Structure 1
Amino acid sequence: MSGLESGLLAFGVLLMLLFAGVPVAFAMAVVAAAGIWLTIGTTFLLTTFTTTPYAVTADYTFVVVPMFVLMGGIAGRAGFISDLYTAAHMMLNRLKGSLLMATIVAQAGFAAASGSTVVASSVFTRMALPEMLRFGYKGGVAGGCIAAAGTLAGLIPPSIAMVLFAMLTTQPVGELLIAGLIPGVITALAYMIGLWVCLSIWPDWAPAATLKVTWRERGRALSRVWSIVLLMAAVMGGIYAGYYPPSAAGAVGAAGALTIAVVMRRIRPGQFWEALVEAARISAVIFAIVIAGLIFSRFLVISGFIGELRTVVIAMDVSPLGFMLVTILLFLVLGMFIDSVSLLVIAVPFLYPISQALDINPFWYAVLVVKLIEIAAITPPVGLNLFAVLAAADGRLKAIELFRGVVPFVIIESLVLALLITVPALSTWLPSKM
């Protein structure tokens, strides 16, 4: 059996296990173990399963994952996010659909203190959805807005998705994080413009703007968001200026969030313990998937699948744009059935080497892949953010409502994706200035 055939067989078995409900980490590990054993033998199999988990978890660079998750957990429990949401609402109160607009702005701010799309979706569902329903917003649109804006954490640094991409490709974490900043801001602006257009066409989606706020109240609300601004400056400013690496920046962010929360007397010991447990649980799941994915990608290398696939693609004389279209199709189809993190770990190890053979800029490719994962996270029926919103809604939303309400945001995301493909400099300019 050729390397190409063995790789395709492995992917087929993997997809069967995933559709059967086997957790993705176990599915990839089992398929990789069988493939390595059949290809090389027991000794290499045991060596791989012994060394790879330690090599990943002992790499100091990737301490950034639990640190970013912990920073977001502390910020949420200390009420920083509530302050940010209130300030955004007061500043945008004169616009129709002001709560929807405020949700987008606040989630963009939260993205700079979290890095997790699922955490962002869950937090804002509990905080913003009851308010929007109380004021008469259409439930599906409100839930779709929360789910879609939650994906901003995938691009706006610090982004766990970008850290995972770095782990899978050995690209520098700092440059990858910075690469997502401009595309993330553009996505947030596109959401707001798209919502304004939709509300002009379908005014029943949101009530008329009736809340009256004085400038003194706006100023008071804005004065409370200094904590998020300070965390953003400390984390991303330090990385961009080169004062410290991303691993240290994560620790600075988590320690900074805790210090501010303690000084402001906004966090109790029990809440801090909850944030620690949450960070450990989420990090353990991420690392388990990454470890299994790296072992699976090692099988693809030793079986000859990646080498033969690269040869086939080059022989077909596929252009970089053609390869990007294949990548888009693959992610959009698989994203309907596989969660975002798993999709990243499964697809990147064999797609990334081909992209480099075609001389595609790695930062541009990373941004496009993460953007595709964002779209997958809000694409029914298996969009991870959609399930996070449904779980946190406590029965206030029906799945079919949410699936309909998120459609406009999927369309907006597709337009942003087209823009990022057309103008690569939006993804590559900032990293080139570091």
Structure 2
Amino acid sequence: MGPELSGGIAIASLLILLGFGVPIVWAMSLVAAAGMWIGVGWTFVFTTFQTLPMATVSSYSLVVIPMFLLMGGFCHRADIIAGLYSAAHRFTSRTRGNLLVATVLASAGFAAASGSSLAASSVFTRIALPQMLKFGYSPGVAAGCIAAAGTLAAIIPPSIAMVIIASLTNQSAGTLLIAGIVPGLLTAGVYIVGIKLFLLRFPHWAPDADERFTWREKLLGLRSLWSVLLLGGFIMGGIYSGWFSPSAAGAVGAFGALLIGLAMRKLGVGAIRDCLVESAHSTIRLFAIIVAGLLFSRYLVISGFIGAINGAMKDLGVGPVELIAFMIVLYLVLGMFVDSLSLLVITLPTFYPIATTMGLDPVWFSIIAVKLVEIAAITPPVGLNLFAVMGATDQVKSTELFRGVLPFVLLETVTLGLLLAFPGLTTWLPGNM
């Protein structure tokens, strides 16, 4: 059996198992074990399954994942997120669609304290959606805005996805985190401009603003921003300047969030215990996916599949443009079946070596991959961010949400086009670290 056929059978088997509802961790591990057994033998299977998981989860670079999760938990329990939304709401008042803009701004702020787009979508569904429905916003557009703005948490640092990509591709986590700043802010900016333009054509999406806040009230609302600005600025500034590594930055952020929560008297013993338990459970799930993905990629390497595909693409004259175009189609399709993290773990071991061989910038390619999986996360009918919104409310029908999120999918393609056309938007900031 040739490497192309063996690798193709492995990928097809994985997709079939996922189609039958087998959890992604078990599916990747079973396919990897079976492939290694058939191709190399049981001794190699036992050795790999004994050594690789321990070597992965004991990696110091991955300690940032539980720390970022813990920081996000402390910020949520301390009601910092509600304060962000309130401040954004006050400063965007007196304009049509101000709550949509406020949701984007607050989600960008929340992204500086959380690396999970699903968590962001769920949190803001509970905070922002009732307010928008109260003032007569289109339910589908309101929910679609929340789902789309949630993707900012995956690209604006601290981003768990970036750390995992760094682990899978042996890149600097700090470089990837810094690289996400400009694309993340660009995404938020495109959302805001796009919302304003869409409202000119579809004014029924949002009513005229009837809330008024004095400048004193607006300035008082800024008091809730100091904690996120302090945390995000110190963490990113420390990484950018080299004061501490990304792994240490996670611990600094978690400890800082804890101190802020205690100072605000929002974190008690019970809340701290719940945050620790939740972050531990989430860390276990993420590490299991990472280990399973590395086992699957190990099989693709030893089977010769990646080398064979790379050689075939060279023979066929496939270039960077064709590779990115194929990735766009593949990610949109696979994004209907698996979550963003699993999609990265499944695909990057194949695409990353090919992309670097073609001369594509590794940092730029990684950001494009994150952007693609986040577009897939809000693409109907099975985008996972959409499910996060629907799971957090029963006030919006699925058909309304699917229609309402389509304008934001269009805006995401605009951002993707800008990042593809101008790689310097991604590479300039990390290049000056």
Q: Distance in 2 between matches of 1:71 and 1:95?
A: 34
Tell me the SS of whatever aligns to 1:406.
helix
Tell me the SS of whatever aligns to 1:337.
coil
Matched, 1:334 2:334: yes
**Residue aligning to 1:414:** 413
Q: Given residue 87 of structure 2, which amino acid in structure 1 is its aligned partner?
A: A
Judge conservation of contact 1:231–1:253 (CA < 8 Å) in 2. Answer: yes
Structural mapping, 1:399-410, within 5 Å? 399-410=398-409
Judge conservation of contact 2:97–2:206 (CA < 8 Å) in 1. Answer: yes
Structural mapping, 1:22-41, within 5 Å? 22-41=22-41
Q: Given residue 401 of structure 1, which amino acid in structure 2 is its aligned partner?
A: E
After TM superposition, give the deviation of residue 313 of structure 1 in Å: 1.0
Deviates more, 1:291-300 or 1:218-227: 218-227
Matched, 1:380 2:380: yes
Q: Given residue 234 of structure 1, which amino acid in structure 2 is its aligned partner?
A: F
C-alpha distance after superposition, 1:311-342 (max 9, x if no partner)? 11112222212211111121112112222111
Q: Given residue 40 of structure 1, which amino acid in structure 2 is its aligned partner?
A: V
Tell me the SS of whatever aligns to 1:405.
helix
Q: Distance in 1 between matches of 2:379 and 2:279?
A: 26
Structure 1 ranges of 4+ moved more than 6 A: none
Q: Given residue 258 of structure 2, which amino acid in structure 1 is its aligned partner?
A: L
Judge conservation of contact 2:61–2:167 (CA < 8 Å) in 1. Answer: no
**Residue aligning to 1:429:** 428
TM-score, with length taken from structure 1 = 0.99
**Residue aligning to 2:12:** 12
Judge conservation of contact 1:37–1:45 (CA < 8 Å) in 2. Answer: yes
**Unmatched segments (≥5 aa) in structure 2:** none
Q: Distance in 1 between matches of 2:382 and 2:63?
A: 29
**Residue aligning to 2:172:** 172
**Residue aligning to 2:141:** 141
Judge conservation of contact 1:339–1:382 (CA < 8 Å) in 2. Answer: no
- The percentage of counterpart residues that share the same residue type is 55
Q: Distance in 2 between matches of 1:382 and 1:201?
A: 28
Q: Given residue 141 of structure 1, which amino acid in structure 2 is its aligned partner?
A: V
C-alpha distance after superposition, 1:181-226 (max 9, x if no partner)? 1000000010011111111111111111111100001110012210
TM-score, with length taken from structure 2 = 0.99
After TM superposition, give the deviation of residue 118 of structure 1 in Å: 0.8
Q: Distance in 1 between matches of 2:142 and 2:280?
A: 31
C-alpha distance after superposition, 1:143-183 (max 9, x if no partner)? 10000000001110011111111111111100001111100
Judge conservation of contact 1:337–1:381 (CA < 8 Å) in 2. Answer: no
Matched, 1:252 2:252: yes
Structural mapping, 1:48-59, within 5 Å? 48-59=48-59
**Residue aligning to 1:231:** 231
Q: Distance in 1 between matches of 2:281 and 2:382?
A: 22
Structural mapping, 1:13-412, within 5 Å? 13-393=13-393, 395-412=394-411
Q: Distance in 2 between matches of 1:120 and 1:333?
A: 23
Deviates more, 1:221-230 or 1:264-273: 264-273
C-alpha distance after superposition, 1:291-326 (max 9, x if no partner)? 000000000000010111111111222221221111
Q: Given residue 66 of structure 1, which amino acid in structure 2 is its aligned partner?
A: P
Q: Given residue 265 of structure 1, which amino acid in structure 2 is its aligned partner?
A: R
Judge conservation of contact 1:147–1:389 (CA < 8 Å) in 2. Answer: yes
Q: Distance in 1 between matches of 2:100 and 2:268?
A: 31
Q: Given residue 54 of structure 1, which amino acid in structure 2 is its aligned partner?
A: M
Q: Distance in 2 between matches of 1:269 and 1:145?
A: 35
Tell me the SS of whatever aligns to 1:410.
helix
Q: Distance in 1 between matches of 2:128 and 2:329?
A: 33
Q: Given residue 112 of structure 2, which amino acid in structure 1 is its aligned partner?
A: A
Q: Given residue 357 of structure 1, which amino acid in structure 2 is its aligned partner?
A: T
Q: Distance in 2 between matches of 1:380 and 1:339?
A: 13
After TM superposition, give the deviation of residue 407 of structure 1 in Å: 0.4
Q: Distance in 2 between matches of 1:127 and 1:140?
A: 16
C-alpha distance after superposition, 1:246-266 (max 9, x if no partner)? 000000001000001101111
Judge conservation of contact 1:86–1:221 (CA < 8 Å) in 2. Answer: yes
Judge conservation of contact 1:71–1:253 (CA < 8 Å) in 2. Answer: yes
Q: Given residue 358 of structure 2, which amino acid in structure 1 is its aligned partner?
A: L
Q: Given residue 134 of structure 1, which amino acid in structure 2 is its aligned partner?
A: K
After TM superposition, give the deviation of residue 408 of structure 1 in Å: 0.4
**Unmatched segments (≥5 aa) in structure 1:** none
After TM superposition, give the deviation of residue 381 of structure 1 in Å: 2.1
Judge conservation of contact 2:239–2:245 (CA < 8 Å) in 1. Answer: yes
After TM superposition, give the deviation of residue 24 of structure 1 in Å: 0.4
Judge conservation of contact 2:139–2:401 (CA < 8 Å) in 1. Answer: yes
Tell me the SS of whatever aligns to 1:265.
coil
Q: Distance in 2 between matches of 1:413 and 1:202?
A: 19
After TM superposition, give the deviation of residue 396 of structure 1 in Å: 1.1
Q: Distance in 2 between matches of 1:319 and 1:305?
A: 19
Q: Distance in 2 between matches of 1:403 and 1:278?
A: 30
Q: Distance in 2 between matches of 1:140 and 1:193?
A: 19
Q: Distance in 1 between matches of 2:247 and 2:174?
A: 9
Q: Distance in 2 between matches of 1:26 and 1:369?
A: 24
Q: Distance in 2 between matches of 1:270 and 1:380?
A: 38
What is the CA RMSD across the aligned residues, in angstroms? 0.8
Judge conservation of contact 2:31–2:296 (CA < 8 Å) in 1. Answer: yes
Q: Distance in 1 between matches of 2:396 and 2:359?
A: 46
